[in-house]
Structures are given as C-alpha cells and as structure tokens.
Chains A and B, each alone.
Chain A
Amino acid sequence: MSATRRRFLAATAAGGAMALAPTRVTAQPKIRWRMSTTWTAALDQLQRSAQLLAKLVDEMSAGRFQIEVFPGGQIMQPLDCFDAASRGTIEAFMGTATYWSEKEPAIEWFATIPFGMNPDGMMAWFYQGEGLKLWEETYAPFNLVPRPGPAFAPQMGGWFRKKINTIADFKGLKMRVGNSLARNVIAKAGGTAVLTPASDIYAALERGVIDTAEWVGPHDDMQLGLHNTARYYYYPGWHEPGTMSEFTFNKKAYEALSPEFRQLLDHAAAAVQMYGLTDFHTRNAVAIARLKTEFKGKVELLQFPPAVLRDLRKIATDVIKTQSEKTPMTRKVHASYTKFQATVGPWDHVADGAYHQFVAP
C-alpha cells in the first residue's frame, strides 16, 4: 500500500515534464492493476493473450498504466476471478463467459452457443450490432465492464475412443464438454456430460473415467496429450463455433481511469483480438500438420456424419430455446443474437462459405 502511494507521489512530482519524457514515466507507473485468469500457466496460448493485453497497454501508455497478470491458481483459484473483480479485490480478469452462466444464463451467449455464429459473426455482433451493449447491461449488476478478447474458435468436435456413426452412439457415452448448453445437448442425446478440469482430462480419458473429451483445437489438445489417449479426432466443433474470451474490468476501477486510458484499454483489447485470433489460426494449422505426419496411423481425423449433426442441431435448438426463457435478460440476448445470426448468415454463405467450398480447395 505505502509503496504504491510513494510511487504515485513520485510520479506526480515529475509534473508537467512527464508527458515529454516517457522514459522517466516508465519507471514510475501511475496506475497498476491486477488481472487473474481462468487458465493455469500451462495453457500457454490462452495465458499469452492476457499478457499481451498488459504488454500493449504498457507500451502505449509509456509505462504509465501497468497490468500485472496472474495465471489462475496463483493469487486465487481460476474460477474465483469473476467474483474478485466484481468486488474490486482485483481490477480485471480474463476468462470465457461460459464459466459464469449459473450467475445469469444470458452470459453464455457472449461466449458461444451450439450451432451459433463463428468469430467473424460474434465480433460483428459485438461491434456493429447490439452484442457489446447487451453484454455491458448483463454485467452491470456485477459491477463489471466486459470487453471481447480473442476468439478461440472454431474448435474441434473432440477426441473419441469409439467411432460415432449415428446419434445413438451418444447413448451411454461419458463425455467431457466445456460449454454448458452443449452438456445439456449430450445429456438429451442419452450421454453423460461432465466438466472435467483441463488438467485432469488426459488422466480421465486414459483411465477410461470418460470415453471422450473436447477441449479446444489441435494445438491446445496436443499440449494436454489428448492425441495419446483416443484415436478418433472429430470435427466440426458444433458445440463451440465462435468461442470468445473476455477481458473484464471492475466497473469502479474502469470508470476511475482517465478517458485516454479507458480508450487505450478498449482499443488494446480489440488489437489483441486480431493478434490472438490469427495466433489461434496459425498454431492450430501447425499442430494439425504435425498430427497428420507424426501421428499418422495413430490418430484419425474424421468428420461427424451430416445426419448426426442434423440430429444434434435439432436437440440444440430445443436446449437453447428452453434456456433462453430462464430470465428476462436471456430472452433479450437470445432474440438479438438470433436476429443477428439470421442477418449475417446469407452473406456468410455466398462470401465465406463459397470461399471455403470453391476457392480455397
């Protein structure tokens, strides 16, 4: 406490010259925040995005605004960061909104929903549609200000020890699924969906505690060693087509920032989206190439049969509809999301869809 105060006074003493001499300012940050994340340090790709935000803010403010980033588990449990930022114990957290759906079901729509929009669509909804405004409204009761972080999507369908040929193959299947809506879908298809923490997935699959697990994509999955436990690697990740991460700030701390720093934080988050999404794209491309060469014959990359996806979609539509009726906020968010998805869909079809179908191959 007193160290911070001393630092603050020293910075103030530098006075008018400060803006002219960034080097001196660098040594004495005026604003220092703490950010805890929902990932452990081992999840390098996710953790790196949080550190990147801190780096950008530091560089652009010439050190006047510093964010100290802690991986989950260091100063608090990974999933405690939401409440801690809400109470102001820390000023910021990074995670994905999927984790907080029990607090308010509407929150899930800001991360991803089964058969929902991809990152392009999600980002357009946030910045050009009502997405971000609704997210702010949803987080306001928690004293939090959300900003979209990088997308970790599209994801893969998961690792399976047995082949999936029909929807009936989900019957009795014990599957680790991160997204809570998707867990309901699996349950309705006759399976048992569990939320195994990332660090335990490998062991659970290896020992047969679970039959199958989804995590993220080839890069992150191989870091957990999942390719050594199950043979069939399915796509597409119908359950998480557009997973967005979040940078979320304590409202009071955010509002106490100068307008300049508030803008800096907002635009830095957008820049990290660009860097993070392209990082995700590149690392997964490298990982899948490795998977195809180094693990040839040991791992099979398979597409879910269209009929299975059709059945999953039917169930998902019901699950989402039911969930969307839980609170007034959920109803509102679901309506906005659905409308936006219908708007971008036809353009997506002739632009991106046609690119992938006819131009890229």
Chain B
Amino acid sequence: MITDRRRFLTRATVAAGAAAVAAAHAPSVIAQPKVQWRMSTTWTSGMDMLQGAAERLASVVGAMTGGRFRIEVVPGGQIMPLFACFDATSQGTIEAFMGSGQYWADKEPALEWFTTIPFGMNHESMAAWYYHGDGHTLADEAYAPFNLVPRPAMPNAPQMAGWFRKKINTIGDFNGLKMRIPGLGGKVVTRAGGAAVLTPGSEIYAALERGVIDASEWIGPHDDMKLGLHKTARYYYYPGWHEPGTTLYFGFNKKAYEALPVDLRRTLDHGTAATQVYAGTEYTTKQALALARLKAEFKGKVDLLPLPVPVLRELKKLAADVVQQESEKTPMSRKVHASFTKFQALVGGWDRVAESAYHLLVAS
C-alpha cells in the first residue's frame, strides 16, 4: 500500500514536468483513480495465457485512461473459489469476472454457443458472428437475466482432440473409454459408448498416470505440456472437433457497467477487442512453440496423429444430435442455436475458398 503510494507520487512528479504538453490529465486525476474495479477469474495463476488475458485487459484500460479506470485482477481461489465469480459479479460483490461460458451452461444452456460447440465455427467466424452477426445482441440478451454484460475476451482455440493411451482407429474404440472431456463434447463421447468425466485441470496428470482415465483433452500443446500430459499418454490427436472455436468471456456487473461514464464504457469495450488480438496471437505463438518442442524433445515418445476421417464423420453425426437436443432446452438456446447455425452456413462458403484453400494449397 505504502509502496504504491510512493510510486504514485514519483509518477506524479515526473508527470508534472510534462504538464504543458499533457494538460489533459491533471496529476491529481492520475493519483486518485475514479473508477476501481475488481475482477476474479476461473483460472489459477499457473494458467499463464488465460490469467494473462485478464491482466492484459486491466493494463490496456489503465493505460488508455491514464489510470482513471483501474481493474484489479485476482486469480481464482484468492478472494473466492474459482467458480464463484459468476454469481459474485451477478450480485455486484465484484464488478467483473473472466471465465468460460461452458462453466455456466447449467444456468442457461444458450451460454455454451457463445463459447463453442462441437463441429461449430472456428474463432474467427465466432468473432464475426459476434461483431457483425447477431452474436453481440444475443449474448447481451442471454446474460441480462443475471445482471451481467458479456464481452468476448480471447480465443482459446483451435484446441487439440486430446491425449490417448490407446490408438483410435474406429468409432468403436470410444466404447468403454474413460475420457476427461467437459460439456457438449463429453455428451458426444458418452453417446459413442464412452464415459465422460470432468477431472479438474490440476488432477488430469495423476488421473491419466494412474489409469483412472484412459484419455483426456485439455487445450493445446502449451497448456497440455504444462500439466505434463505428454508424459502420460503416447497418442496426441487432432483436430479438436469438440472445441473448434472456444471463446472465453469477460462478464461485467450490469449496474457497474452502466454507471461508467460513456468514454470509460467505450474504453472497456474496445479494450476487450484489443485484448482478443493480443491474447489470440499469444495463443497461436505459444502453441506453435510448444508443438515444435514436443516434436523435437519428445520424438519417439509422443505420436501426433489425425483422427481418422470416418471417426470424425461418426462423431459429427452424434454431435449434431447432442447439439440439437441441447438447443431445445430453453427458448434462449433455441434462438441462439438458430442464429449460430445460420451464420455458420453463411461463412462456410467463403471459408472454403479463402481459409481452407489457404491451408490446403498455399501454406503447405
């Protein structure tokens, strides 16, 4: 506290020198932030990229407002349990949280669509749906009953299909398979005859190692290797059919958000868009570096394999049923599913000639 105060004073003194130029912000404004928020997340501090994205928003907003708007970001478990942040923000105990919509699907199944659905859109199309389709309006509507204002935080995708101790050759290999896989993807695995379990991130390594589970997905090489998963199972499968476009979200308490002066509200909104760019590029880069490490340092110990096309075809069929059934649960999920599906069909035609052709014919 005292150190902080001293730092403020030093900064104010320095700023005074530049006063003639920077007449816009009187030093007194810098020293006493007018808006101070607290954000709790569903991540522990070990999850560097996810927690990093929350901290990034705080730093972007702080920098753009010359310190007039401060967001104190704390990892899950510090001031409240990981998954308490949604309700705490909803009640106004804290002003903001960052998490994955998958965690709140019990409250409203529609929230799953804003995160990702099996065989759904990739993160770029998810963002297009949000900014240029109905995504934004529908997300606001779906979170409104909880007194929350949602904003996309970062893409956490594409993901990998997961680590397997045995090879997957046919859809029959999912029979009896005990796999750590959450959400709708888990329901698909269950339909394929497997047992989907929701092991917390920190326990996956031990569960795989001891054979409590046979397979597990987590995120991508960077995050997976941090958990040590590459030391427990030989076969690392792609693509992550179950989470093709995972988009994590910030949630703001509605009253706190609306109480912000317009310029700070816009700064927060545009700050989340900038954070998506920074955190998204960090995701790409760190996964790429980790994959290179995996291939070099663990050569002969880990096999990187694509799921066979017929297996993906079967999973897709099962997924269509699961998603359809889930979409009928509430009026909101029906509406969101319809909008998502329509947008996915729209961008598909362009995706095929632009993105897909790039990957097949230009990049390779």
Interface residues of A (CB under 8 A from B): 11-12, 15-16, 18-19, 22, 30, 56, 59-62, 64, 115, 118, 120-121, 123-124, 126-129, 154-156, 217-218, 235-238, 241, 256, 258-261, 263-264, 267-268, 270-271, 273-275, 277-279, 281-286, 288-289, 292, 301, 303-304, 306, 309, 343-361
Contacts and interface: CB of A to CB of B under 8 A. Distances in A.
Q: Max chain A CB contacts within 10 Å: which of B60, B277, B351?
A: B277
A156 B241 CA distance: 28
A260 B25 contact: yes
Contacts of A281: 124-125, 128, 132, 347, 350
Contact of A115 (B66, B131, B277, B362): B362
Contact of B64 (A217, A256, A267): A267
How would you classify the secondary structure of chain A's contact residues: helix, strand, loop or mixed? Answer: helix
Contact of A258 (B66, B306, B353): B66
B347 to A, nearest CB: 4
B238 A351 contact: yes
B356 A156 contact: no
Given A19-B29, A285-B347, A304 B354 contact: no
Interface in B114-153: 119, 122, 124-125, 127-128, 130-133
Contacts of A344: 284-285, 288
Contacts of A306: 361
Given A236-B354, A358-B241, 13 more contacts: A19-B24, A19-B25, A19-B68, A128-B282, A264-B64, A267-B60, A267-B270, A274-B127, A345-B363, A346-B292, A350-B238, A355-B244, A360-B356
Contacts of B239: 350-351, 354-355, 358-359
A96 B18 CA distance: 34
B291 A258 contact: no
Nearest to A114: B362
B354 A22 contact: no
Sorted from nearest, which 7 A-B pairs have the closest CB atoms?
Answer: A354-B239, A236-B357, A356-B356, A260-B66, A347-B288, A353-B359, A62-B263
A235 to B, nearest CB: 4
Contacts of A18: 24, 26
Contact of B363 (A12, A271, A353, A359): A353
A236 B287 contact: no
Interface in B25-64: 25-26, 28-29, 34, 60, 63-64
